[in-house]
Amino acid sequence: MHLLQIGKKTGSAKPAIFMDCGFHAREWIRQSQKFGQNFSKPWLNLWLPWFNYSNYDCLVLFDRMWRKTRSRNSGSSCIGTDPNRNFDAGWCTTGASSNPCSETYCGSSIESEIESKNLANFIRSNKSIIKSYLTIHSYSQMLLFPYSYKYDLAAHHSELLSVSQGAIAALRSLHGTRYTSGPGAVTIYPSAGGSDDWAYDLGVKYSYTFELRDEGRYGFLLPESQIKPTCEETMLAVKYIANHVLNNP
């Protein structure tokens, strides 16, 4: 797994924004993004462009709609775990399955997947500088924040909501793309074990899941012509969040 650090670590501990793409293999739009551009900024950008890389060959040759990791499951011929059900956040209690054949299999244990473990270890070790965790999925045109594993409002609910509203307004200003925003459990569906909830409970306050274009017409098979506008508009939302993080240390 390759992590890009954009910007310099300085003695004065710049705040860092951690962003990952490609949790779910079939959600290709996200890793096409050139988030590296425009980041000569007073924050440090830590970008994991392709979280779930090991199955790219599998996708091209075998199943474009694959979602999970590609690990073997003992006692089952079914392959893979849903990495976004594999974190320590109400693990496997709701919207997740303990059946290895399910698309939302939560794994044999918390962080059973090497991808989840690596991500969690990195964020735990750099927790003091990581002020925001952004995880890029598709599709639905939503900006989600904790919680998804329970209906309780997050301690910072009003701030997370108002930042999400500002971010989706900035996004919409470019091409008119409409997003909705809110806590995951009520905005998309309840589901446990997600990296956003885990990061938030660890102490990374500005934890958001982007669900990029579209709303279902093309779904995961978004036409190439939409890649650039999706990148451009998403950058506006990311910058909005980043500016808020900088101004609210």
What residue ranges bind ligand 0X9 (CB under 6 A)? 24, 27, 84, 137, 144, 148, 184, 188, 191, 194, 196-197, 209, 211
Cα–Cα nearest to 88, from 9, 172, 17, 192? 192
Q: Is 30 in the site for Zn ion (CB under 5 A)?
A: no
Closer by beta carbon to ligand 0X9, 196 or else 233: 196
Query: Per the structure block, which two tokens stand in for 73?
Result: 């499951």
| Residue 71 neighbours by CB distance under 10 Å | 18
Q: Is 22 helix (H, G, I), strand (E, B) or coil?
A: coil
71 vs 191, beta carbon nearer ligand 0X9: 191
Whole-angstrom distance, CA of residue 6 vs CA of residue 124: 19
| Distance separating the N- and C-terminal Cα atoms of the chain | 29
Which CA distances in Å does 51 have to 31, 161, 196, 224? 9, 27, 14, 22
The answer to whether 233 is a known catalytic residue is no
Q: Residue 113 binds what, of Zn ion, ligand 0X9, none (CB under 5 to 8 Å, by partner type)?
A: none
Q: Verify binding: residue 213, Zn ion, rule CB under 5 A.
A: no
> Which of residues 137 and 150 has its CB atom nearest to Zn ion in the complex?
137
**Residue 190 Cβ vs ligand 0X9, minimum distance, rounded to whole Å:** 8
| Segment interacting with Zn ion (CB under 5 A) among 16-24, 56-64, 166-174, 229-237 | 16-24
Catalytic residue among 27, 111, 115, 211: 211
Burial class (CB in 10 A: 0-12, 13-18, 19+), 200: buried
Please identify every residue annotated as catalytic. Answer: 211
Q: Contact residues for Zn ion (CB under 5 A)?
A: 24, 27, 137
